[in-house]
Every structure is written in C-alpha cells, then in structure tokens.
Structure 1
Amino acid sequence: MRYDLITLDVFTAVAEERNLTRAAERLHLAVSAVSKRIAELEQQVGSSLLLRYARGVELTPAGQSVLHYARELRLLLGQMDEELGSYSAGVKGHIRIHAITSALTQFLPGDLQRFIDSYPQINFDIEERVGSAVVQAVIEGRADLGIFAEHTRNTSLETRPYRQDQLVVVVPREHVLSRHAMVSFQQALEHEFIGPHPDSSLYSLFAQRQAEAGMSMRVRVRVSSFECMCRLVAARVGIAILPKAAIVQYLRPMKLQMIRLEENWARRMLVIGVRSMDLLTPTVRTLFEHLAVQD
C-alpha cells in the first residue's frame, strides 16, 4: 500500500490533539478536510483508527500502530533531509562508536584525527567497552559501528579488517624473564599474572590458548585498565600480556620491559563491525571506508 505523507501528518495531529477541531486549527485546515483525510486513511488501512466521542477521539489499537509508524517515518525522513541537505557544505553528521581499549589507545585517535581533517563537520560519541559489550551495542543499535578483536564471539555483524596489534609479555626489568627477547605462552604461564577483565577480548583469547596449552593462568588480580595493569606489574604483583603499542609509553617511567610472544596468535586482528552495510547512512559509511583501508 502507498501512504500519503500529508495524510499521515494529519492523522498524527489528530492523534496528538485527541480532537479533530484542534488538529484542524493546528494544521490550518478545515475540519471537513481533516475528517476526509482520516476517512480515506481508515479505508486504506481497512480498519477504524479512531473512536469518536462528543468531545474528541481516542486511538484504536490499529490507530496506535499507525501513529507509531507515522512518527518513525517522519523521524527518518527528517534525518534524511538533514543529512542530504548538508552535502552542499560538506559531509555532516553524528557517529556513535564503541571500541575495545586496544583500538582506542593504539589506533583510533590518529585515524579519527585524519578523518576529521577531511570531514570537520562530523561529530562523534565514543565509548570504551569490552569486546562482547561492543558487539551487543552494535546489534542493539546503540552504536553505529564497533571495533573489537576478531576472535570475539559474533554471529550477526558484518565485519572488515581494521588493524593488527602485537601482544607482548610485560615484566619488571629485574624479572627472571627479562633476559629473554622472546618467550612462549607456556613459559609465561609459569608465573603469576595481572589478568584482564573477564568480559574482555583478551580474557577470551587467553582462555582459549590456555586450554590448548593444557595449563592455567594463575591470576592474582584482574583489572580493565592497561595503565593500572602496568602499575601492578611494576609493583611486582605479577606479569601481564598486553598490546605493544598501548603500553610502550609506560615502559621507561615504570621501569618495565616487554618481551615478544613467539606464538602467531599474539599478532591479532582487530575488526570493524556494523549491523548491515546496506543500512549504513552515508556519514557512517564514509567513516567505515576510511577505517577499513588502514594498513
């Protein structure tokens, strides 16, 4: 069925005013014209949309449904008008990003700076979340796109590669492992750890690799902040496995040393996820394409 936008606007006014006369005054129309529009819409729907009383009207269940979709349609059309109307002055918009700590501390700030240089009229809301929460936020529409580790459980999002990060073992300079340039995961597991948050992508990765190695990580403390993990390592509470680029700044002031992990999985892929490429607004698609081509 094809619906007339003016008729839907008239119906919305009647539904909100609960009175045909007040709706007509609001729309600067004759009451007869409003009544005719409503009657035509009811005929098109095949159901009564209003319960008519002497002092006004009430919505039927069908009327409540039409009101909901009429409002959604107007909101969507308004967003379209705003976005398309802005192209004469360059791409504008607002983008919501949820990302894991590794992406936020290593790559995203620089990538966004270059993007903003090209598109200065786009604004952002950025939230730091663990991997599973990033995926859920995108699925539920609370984020336009998410950045998380490739191994994070995800069955419904469309993803593209973003960046790779290198995981390293972080130890105090005097630690027994500090004399090694490279160690295996099994060697690291012989020591006590500062562990990541249970919902984080690092936690799920370590859980999988522990099972494969037939060993368990002895965790003394769990924290979600990379800086806090480094401070605890410096205090000799345990060692940690963290993304290289995210912790380089802490090595010298905290007297820490990083050691490469020899396993291939220590170089992990970060991905960008969206609900559907086909449903992306032009603004979000522009950012997606900018991020997805990073080396």
Structure 2
Amino acid sequence: MRLDFFDLQLFLNIVDTGSLTKGAERSSISLQAASERIKKLEQHYATTLFIRHAAGVKLTIAGQTFAEQALLLAQQRKQLEQAMSPYAEGLTAQMSLWCNSSAQSEYLPTLLPQYLVENPHVHIDLKEAESNDIIQAIEKGSAKLGLISSFFNSQQLQTLDFFDDPLILICPTDHPLKIHTELKLIDSLNYPFVGLMQYHSLQQSIETQAKLLNCAIQYRLRLPNFTAIAQVVANGVGIAIMPKRAAQRLSSQYAFHQIELTGEWAKRQLLLAAQNFDELPTTYQHFVQFLLSQKAKLILDED
C-alpha cells in the first residue's frame, strides 16, 4: 500500500472532529469512502486505529501514535510546498561570490557556465576583490562565500581546499634566465620586472618575499592584468611572476619562457572560505558542493 497524504489528512480530520461522519464531510468524501480508507490503513498496519462508539470515535494507543506521526508528515508536506512554490512561480536565487583575480580570470570561467545552465533559477554576482578584503568581508558578515589565496591569514574562518594555484616566473624567450626550468626568487631579483598595479594583493605578497630577502623589485612597468603582463614580457620588456594556470592559458597567444619557482611561498592554494559552511543558505551549500565536485575537471583542463 502506498501512503496517501489524502488519507493522512482524512485521519487527522476524523481525530479533530471526533467523528467519522464529520471527518468525511471535512474531507469532502462520502462516509462510506472514508470508512473504507480508514479500514485499509488499519489493514496495512495490522492494528486498530479507532474505537467506534455511539458518540463518535476514540483513538487507540496505536491510533495516537499514528496521529502524532501523521501530523508531523502533514506539517512537513506544508513546509515542502511553501519552500517549493516560489520556484514554480519563477523565483530566482541570488548569490554573491567574492573572489580574487586569479579565481575570477582562471578558474570560474571554466565552471560557472555549467552551473548556471543546470540551475536556471540562480543568478551569481561575482565580486572581484583582494584576498585580505574578502576575508574581512566574510568575518564582518557582509560576504557569505569567497575564494581566497592561502597566502593570507584566515584562521577565524572555515576554509576548504579548492585548487592548487602555484606561481611561476615568465621571461622573454631570449632572456638570460631562459636556461632555467626552476629558480629561487632571489636569483631573479637583479632583473627588471613587469608587475601588477600596487593595489594587487598578489604583487604585495611578491614584494613581501623580496623584502624578506633584503631586496627590492625593480619595476619597468605595472599593468592591471595578467594578459597585459604576458604581452609586454613577450615583447622583451622584463620578467614577471604570475599564477601558473594564467601563464599556461596565455602561452598560446604570447611567446615567453616559463620557469618554476621554488619555495613554499610560491606553492599557494585557492581556498573556499566562509564563517561556517554548515550554516550557509541552501543555495550556497549546493554551489560549494558543485565547485568541490568539479576539481577533477580543472585538472583535466590543465593537462
């Protein structure tokens, strides 16, 4: 027997009115039909739910248990209908994802189209910001979810590993450093650099590493994005440090040599960050699960 919500409501109407006749009337069915439905329930559960008497009906102990569970199911059904009705009416779910420049340019364009096609009711507002600013926004509650670099202190937040995002050095194809396949940062600091603008957290992090080596980076030019940097490096202006994935993407457009950087500082990761992932709204939790499930796709794309 398949449990029918109509039968549950009929049962509750009978309990509420104390009468099979009145319960049938409230459910808009005949007394005979109501009696047959209750009889089938009792046969299915192999127990008596009501004791019938001249004044109406009274619940048995089994009937009381059934009534408690039927009420819970009826309430849950109502909650389900309330939760789902906005989607039937075309409601859209709005999410904001804060991300650093590397995530915004190198990872999300690969993943977001699939998610948006599969979830047509969802709108995503991408907010590009520096990792430090994202961390502060999440801590203050003005942001719910972010993609940040492991460079930065996020101990007050929960984080999940999203993807490795190492840094490499690129140089012109005729540059003296082209003989190297890997390099320490200090071995590159005697050469002129092309860098991101001063406000970029990535460039600030690279400069911090140089200061730890008692060196200062010599900039010939500062530019707003990785594409512009790759172009001027390929034209022989200087060397630069950028995420490996960005360099691999741009190497098909511009001719430059790629050199692995040694040291833990260069082996950074992208992290998903939130105050508490379990307390995120359902839409955000679903999106996080999607992003984590797509890591294999990013590896395949990289290969």
Q: The TM-score by the shorter chain falls in which range?
A: 0.5 to 0.7
Checking the alignment, whether the CA contact within 8 Å between 1:148 and 1:201 is kept in structure 2 is no
Mapping of residues 11-90 of structure 1, within 5 Å:
85-86=85-86
| Alpha carbons of structure 1 residues 86 and 266: separation in structure 2 relative to 1, 3 Å | same
Partner-residue secondary structure (3-state), 2:166: strand
Partner of 2:232: 232
Residues in 1 aligned to 2:201 and 2:261: alpha-carbon distance in whole angstroms: 17
Deviation of 1:281 after TM superposition, in Å, equals: 0.6
Q: Trace 1:102-117 onto structure 2 (pairs within 5 A).
A: 102-117=102-117
Q: Report how many residues are paired.
A: 216
Q: 1:163 Cα shift?
A: 0.8
Question: How far apart are residue 263 of structure 1 and its match?
Answer: 2.5
Specify the alignment match of 1:136 in structure 2. Answer: 136
* Partners of 1:272 and 1:292 within 8 A in 2: no
Distance 1:182 1:139, change over 3 A: same
Whether 2:281 is the aligned partner of 1:284: answer no
Contact 2:159 2:273 survives alignment (8 Å): yes
Whether the 8 Å CA contact 1:149–1:201 is kept in 2: the answer is no
Report the residue type matching 1:239 in the other structure.
I
Cα separation, partners in 2 of 1:89 and 1:243, compared to 1, 3 Å = farther
C-alpha distance 81-252 of structure 1, shift in aligned 2 (>3 A): same
Instruction: Out of 108-117 and 268-277, give the one that drifted further.
Output: 108-117
Structure possessing the higher radius of gyration over alpha carbons: 2
Residue matched to 2:173: 173
Partner deviation per Cα, 1:1-24 (whole Å, 9 max, x = no partner): xxxxxxxxxxxxxxxxxxxxxxxx
Contact 2:87/2:121, CA 8 A, preserved across alignment: no
Q: Which residue matches 1:185?
A: 185
Alpha-carbon shift at residue 159 of structure 1 (Å): 1.6
- The Cα shift of 1:178 comes to 1.4
Distance 1:81 1:241, change over 3 A: farther
Deviation string for 1:224-282 (max 9, x for gaps)? 31112122323433210001211323324332221111334322111111233343110
Name the SS of the counterpart of 1:209 in structure 2: helix
1:64 equivalent in structure 2:
none
- My pick for the range that moved more, 260-269 or 137-146, is 137-146
Query: Is the contact made by 1:169 and 1:261 (CA closer than 8 Å) also made in structure 2?
Result: yes
Unaligned runs of 5+ in 2: 1-79, 297-303
2:249 equivalent in structure 1: 249
Using the alignment, how far apart are the partners of 2:155 and 2:222 within structure 1?
Answer: 28
Question: For the Cα contact (< 8 Å) 1:195–1:203, is it kept in 2?
Answer: yes
Q: 1:84 to 1:151 in 2, by over 3 A?
A: farther
Tell me the distance in 2 between the aligned counterparts of 1:287 and 1:166: 24
State the identity as a percent: 24
In 1: Cα distance, 2:89 partner to 2:159 partner: 31
Q: Distance in 2 between matches of 1:264 and 1:91?
A: 46
Is this contact kept in 2: 1:151–1:201, CA < 8 A?
no
Report the counterpart of residue 206 of structure 2 in structure 1: 206
Change (3 A) 1:184 1:91: farther
* 1:217 Cα deviation after fit: 1.9
Matched with 1:216 is 216
| 2:208 is the counterpart of 1:196 | no
1:99 — aligned with what?
99
2:77 matched residue in structure 1:
none
SS at match of 2:156: coil
Q: Which of structure 1's runs of 4+ aligned residues deviate more than 6 A?
A: 87-91
**111-120 or 264-273, larger mean C-alpha shift:** 111-120
What SS is found at the alignment partner of 1:123? strand
Length-normalised TM-score, structure 2: 0.62
Q: What is aligned with 2:35?
A: none
1:183–1:259 CA contact under 8 A, matched in 2 = yes
How far apart in 2 are the matches of 1:292 and 1:265? 24
- 1:290 is matched by which residue type in structure 2? F
Secondary structure of 1:107 counterpart: helix
Distance in 2 of aligned mates of 1:135 and 1:172: 36
Conservation of the 8 A alpha-carbon contact between 2:172 and 2:238: no
